[in-house]
C-alpha cells in the first residue's frame, strides 16, 4: 500500500497509521466534534475500503480532536438541509447507520478513546466499538429529541 492509503475523504476526519494502530480522529473542534455528513461517510470508507485488508492494521482507535469532546452528537447546522424532508431524513439515517455498522462489524479490535462530551451520536459510535476508555472528566448523555 502506498503512503496515501489512509488519506481521509474529509478534513474533518484525521487518519494515520502508527505502528499497527490506525487512528481515526473526529476533527470538528469548533462544534465539539459534532458529526457532519461527510464525517459519517468517511468512517466506512476508511474501515471497509482500506483498513480491512491491510495486514499492518491490528486495531483502530477512535478519538475526538481537542480536549472538550469525543463527539457532541450530530452537527445540527446541517439539519435544515439534511433532515427537512422525509427522503432527506432517510438518507441521513442510512449514512449514519452505515458508519456505525462498519465500526461494529470491523474484523479487528476497535477502541473509543473518550475525553469530555460523548453525546447522542458519540454514544452510538462508542458502543459500536469493541472497547471504550473514558477520562474522568467525560460526560455522557442522550439529548431529548
37-76 pLDDT per residue, tens: 999 999 999 998 788 999 999 999 999 999 999 999 988 7
* Lowest pLDDT segment from 8-12, 43-47, 85-89: 85-89
User: pLDDT (tens digit, 9 = 90+) per residue, 91-125?
Assistant: 889 999 999 999 999 999 999 999 999 999 999 99
Domains of the chain: 13-141 (3.90.226.10)
21-26 vs 59-64, strand pairing mode: parallel
> What pLDDT, on a 0 to 100 scale, did the predictor assign at position 105?
97
pLDDT at site 38 = 96
Please tell me which residue, 107 or 77, carries the higher pLDDT value: 107
Strand 59-64, strand 110-114: pairing: parallel
Q: Grade residue 132 by pLDDT with cuts at 50, 70 and 90.
A: very high
CA distances (Å), origin 125, targets 73, 75, 81, 102, 109? 10, 14, 23, 10, 14
Amino acid at each position: 500500500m502506498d503512503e496515501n492509503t489512509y488519506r481521509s475523504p474529509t478534513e474533518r476526519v484525521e487518519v494515520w497509521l502508527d505502528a499497527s494502530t490506525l487512528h481515526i480522529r473526529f476533527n470538528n473542534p469548533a462544534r465539539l466534534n459534532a458529526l457532519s455528513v461527510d464525517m459519517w461517510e468517511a468512517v466506512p470508507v476508511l474501515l471497509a475500503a482500506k483498513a480491512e485488508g491491510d495486514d499492518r492494521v491490528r486495531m483502530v482507535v477512535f478519538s475526538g480532536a481537542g480536549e472538550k469532546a469525543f463527539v457532541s452528537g450530530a452537527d445540527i447546522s446541517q439539519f435544515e438541509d439534511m433532515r427537512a424532508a422525509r427522503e432527506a431524513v432517510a438518507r441521513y439515517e442510512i449514512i449514519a447507520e452505515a458508519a456505525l455498522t462498519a465500526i461494529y462489524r470491523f474484523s479487528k479490535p476497535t477502541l473509543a478513546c473518550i475525553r469530555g462530551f460523548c453525546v447522542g451520536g458519540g454514544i452510538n459510535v462508542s458502543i459500536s466499538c469493541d472497547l471504550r476508555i473514558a477520562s474522568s472528566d467525560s460526560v455522557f448523555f442522550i439529548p431529548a429529541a
